[in-house]
Structure 1
Amino acid sequence: MTQLTTPDGTTLSYQDWGQGRPVILTATAMLDSRMWEFQASFLAEQGLRCITYDRRGSGRSDKPWDGYDYDTLADDLACLLDHLDVRDAVLVGYALGGGEAVRYLHRHGTDRVAKLALVASTTPFMQLAPDNPQGLPPALLEEVTAAIRRDRAGWLAGFTIPFFGGPEASPEELGISRDLADWLLRTSLDMSPRAATELYRTLFQTDQRAEVAALDLPVLIIHGTADIGAPYDLCARPTAALLPKATFLTYQDAAHALFATRADQLSQDLLSFARDEPTG
């Protein structure tokens, strides 16, 4: 992988494959650019420039103690796009990466980005609040962060089936091989424990309803109905309601890991969106 250094001295690792319209793929909170095993190669083979990177705290990038808030993550993304001088790009925000992408557009505008895809995104607001009664209680965040601190490997192992198969799935219903599932989740252990807990805090506590509503570019929303990482009714529906002109694709009975369990479908939908063709 190639590297760049942000203004605060953090080294980020990235890959830049292919030629054509740039597509920037951001990762979930716990994974890094390796999660794009299928989409990155496919999009580059189809005549697009596919850019993936490991955000700070994960994968092959530096793991500083701080900087896991959306402002810093968005500025890191801006540093990458400026470094590569991309134009007319399609920005794909996956899970926490959705919030990261929305904050990037809020802080840095659309000079470099022409379209946004929100896939299994945690937007617009996950935490319970008086004006967000369907949100998740703060105690749940504390349970998750405590489990990560206590036994991160064990917590990830216990999350395997719902992450890939959904809350009602059996071990035989992952939708992919157990080998692939285990490998993908093992890459999460390359993240620092500090990054793991603080990224969850960011995605859980940040209210982005106003930022989402202010988006002024074509948006594609893709979400699975069996997603427990970013629940469909808490995340996908409210995000779509704030963006009435967005294209909204529902993957029926799909869980959070669409990049693996619905790899071909997701690859094709992202390709069509990047080519300005009908999706779905």
Structure 2
Amino acid sequence: MPFITVGAENSAPIDLYYEDHGAGQPVVLIHGFPFNTATWEKQVGALLAAGYRTIAYDRRGFGNSSQPAAGYDYDTFAADLDVLMTELDLRDAVLVGHSMGTGEVVRYISTYGSSRVNRAVLLSPLEPFLLKTSDNPEGVDRSLFDGFQQAIIADRFAYLTTFCDAFFNYQDNKGKMVSEEAYRAHWNIGARASGIGTLQSVDAWLTDFRADLPRIDVPTLIVQGDQDKVLPFAVTGQRLQPMLPNSRLITLQGAPHGIPWTHADDVNRAILEFAATPATARA
């Protein structure tokens, strides 16, 4: 199992697990909360078949990566991604983030630039800014996120059930877009995550990305379901697209938050068409 060391906690290294398959232009897949690389199963096969090199890694605290007690913020997450990009010497890369993973994409390009990046894909995005404040009245009340953290502290595994219900819009899509077995698999993946990382990641969701957005200088594709119950479309993707002039928004009608699984064909088609578009046509 390949790992890259991104830091240390006391006597132990902080290692990120990653998978690196195929050849060609690299596509880096950054998973959502609270899952890991396994949730990209339906994208990896399609990308490999289309001739792309696919690199997927587990965020610190999740999957097979180390589970430190700190570093669950987007400056650290972006620094971790930078180590991966540098160590693997990735160039002309397509960065694809889902949900929480979109934060790494945006903060990485904002902080480290786009010299290694060709374009970006944001699936069910977190941006621009979730928290309701005096200058962000479209946001969500802090009390909702406090409730998430209280639920995680009280019973993280019960919270995971609630989260997976919302992730898939399970009552509407059970047996249609998602099987009971796929639901259980996602729950089991989430249960493997660090309890501390799961809790502290909620604070990271409240990151204000508005200052990062003007620094995104690569073509960007946004794909989101209009029935997203985790990151409501009106608060996220719908607001985000006008803030990124060199972007395109694809709205999936009736789709939930977990579109890499429930709407894999639509997502894969959108990524592959976007990745194959000549740069002159995208400018």
Q: Say whether the fold is shared (TM-score over 0.5).
A: yes
Distance 2:32 2:141 in 1: 21
Match of residue 254 from structure 2:
253
Distance 1:185 1:126 in 2: 24
Match of residue 2 from structure 1:
2
Distance 1:158 1:215 in 2: 34
Task: Find the residue that maps to 1:222 and give its secondary structure.
Answer: strand
Match of residue 157 from structure 1:
161
How far has the Cα of 1:134 moved from its partner? 1.8
> Which of 18, 38, 43 is residue 39 of structure 1 equivalent to?
43
Give the conservation status (yes or no) of the 8 Å contact 1:59–1:187. yes
How far has the Cα of 1:170 moved from its partner? 3.6
* 1:150-206 CA-partner distances (Å, limit 9, x unpaired): 11111111233321127xx44646611110111012101111111011111111x21
Match of residue 236 from structure 1:
237
Match of residue 16 from structure 1:
20
Aligned length: 276
**Superposition TM-score, scaled by structure 2 size:** 0.93
Match of residue 106 from structure 1:
110
- Report the residue type matching 2:267 in the other structure: L
Match of residue 202 from structure 2:
200
1:143 paired to 2:144: no
- C-alpha change, 1:6 and 1:264, in structure 2 (3 Å) is same
Identity over the aligned pairs, expressed in percent? 34
- C-alpha change, 1:171 and 1:102, in structure 2 (3 Å) is closer
Distance 2:61 2:182 in 1: 23
Identify which range, 149-158 or 50-59, moves more after superposition. 149-158
1:97 paired to 2:63: no
How far has the Cα of 1:208 moved from its partner? 0.5
Match of residue 66 from structure 2:
62
- Report the residue type matching 2:37 in the other structure: S
Give the conservation status (yes or no) of the 8 Å contact 1:161–1:171. no
Distance 2:225 2:31 in 1: 17
Task: Find the residue that maps to 2:234 and give its secondary structure.
Answer: helix
Match of residue 126 from structure 2:
122
Distance 1:161 1:55 in 2: 23
- Report the residue type matching 2:194 in the other structure: S
Identify which range, 13-22 or 154-163, moves more after superposition. 154-163
- Report the residue type matching 1:196 in the other structure: T
- Report the residue type matching 1:164 in the other structure: F
- C-alpha change, 1:87 and 1:171, in structure 2 (3 Å) is closer
* 1:252-276 CA-partner distances (Å, limit 9, x unpaired): 1100000110011111211122222
Unaligned runs of 5+ in 2: none
Distance 1:11 1:230 in 2: 29
Unaligned runs of 5+ in 1: none
- C-alpha change, 1:33 and 1:172, in structure 2 (3 Å) is closer
- C-alpha change, 1:193 and 1:109, in structure 2 (3 Å) is same
- Report the residue type matching 2:138 in the other structure: Q
Query: What is the aligned-residue RMSD (CA, Å)?
Result: 1.6
- C-alpha change, 1:185 and 1:266, in structure 2 (3 Å) is same
**Superposition TM-score, scaled by structure 1 size:** 0.94
Identify which range, 99-108 or 57-66, moves more after superposition. 99-108
How far has the Cα of 1:213 moved from its partner? 2.8
- Report the residue type matching 2:251 in the other structure: T
1:80 paired to 2:84: yes
